[in-house]
Amino acid sequence: MSGIQLWAIPAFLLALTVHEFSHAMVAERFGDPTARMMGRVTLNPIPHIDPFGTIILPGLLIIMKAPFVFGWAKPVPVNPFNLRNPKRDMIWISLAGPGANLVFAFACGTVLRTVLPFAQGGPVVQFLAWAIIISLVLAAFNLIPVPPLDGSGILKGLLPDSMQEGYAKYERFGFVVLLALFTIGQPIISFFVFPFVGIFSWLFTGKSMLLIFRLAGMAI
């Protein structure tokens, strides 16, 4: 594994930690202490780590020089019965993760704008580039309205009550739909994810997505 690829690991871990911390913090703000009681309202990455989804799978993808890094953290537990307005609050809790990834990408993009004129390469630039890419991919991917992704929670909260029962039946097949998207529906994912990453990487850094990929050391 090259030094450049190594910088994807802390960037990935930080992006996941920010994502899950934000879910936990917003859930607590709306009245549910479940995440707090389980130690999830923290920026310490350890409580958020899923051994396979956070370590083994992303590590294998990086070692194999896969064209993408994919994984997940332990989902933040939310008890809707503790929320003051469950339907409305779940929308904001679901939005918190992708929103936090956008904020993190913006912060990294701001720092990258500052340091890039003085360091065209090096570990700082490589880490920031990876952090921007991974954060934007996480935000975009989680906004897809397929259970158990955050986009599903947002969509469910926006649906009228008359459609809630039908949507609950669809949720049972979420993992099947997600698996199908990864196996035969990759063009569908790419159609949404890549434009999302391209637009926000340019907004946050003033640079094209391809340049950010190159700064991260990815062969394009």
| pLDDT score for 67 | 57
The verdict on whether 20 is a catalytic residue reads yes
| pLDDT score for 1 | 46
| pLDDT score for 196 | 96
Closest CA to 182 of 61, 73, 76: 61
Residue 77 gets which letter from DSSP?
Answer: P
CB half-sphere exposure, 209, CA atoms < 13 A: 13
Is 149 in contact with 142 (CB distance < 8 Å)?
A: yes
Q: CA–CA separation, 114 vs 194, rounded Å?
A: 25
CA dihedral 118, 124, 5, 15 (to 10 degrees): -130
Q: Which two tokens stand for residue 151?
A: 């986009």
Does the predicted TM-score (pTM) go above 0.95?
no
Q: CA–CA separation, 28 vs 36, rounded Å?
A: 7
Mean pLDDT by 10 residues, the chain (220 residues): 68 95 98 96 95 84 67 92 95 98 98 85 89 95 92 93 84 82 74 92 94 80
Residue 31 gets which letter from DSSP?
Answer: T
Residue 85 gets which letter from DSSP?
Answer: S
Amino acid type, 162: S
Looking at 20, 28, 165, 171, which residue is catalytic? 20
CB count within 10 Å of CB 173 equals 12
Closest CA to 25 of 113, 91, 96, 101: 96
Q: Which two tokens stand for residue 117?
A: 């004129």
| pLDDT score for 142 | 94
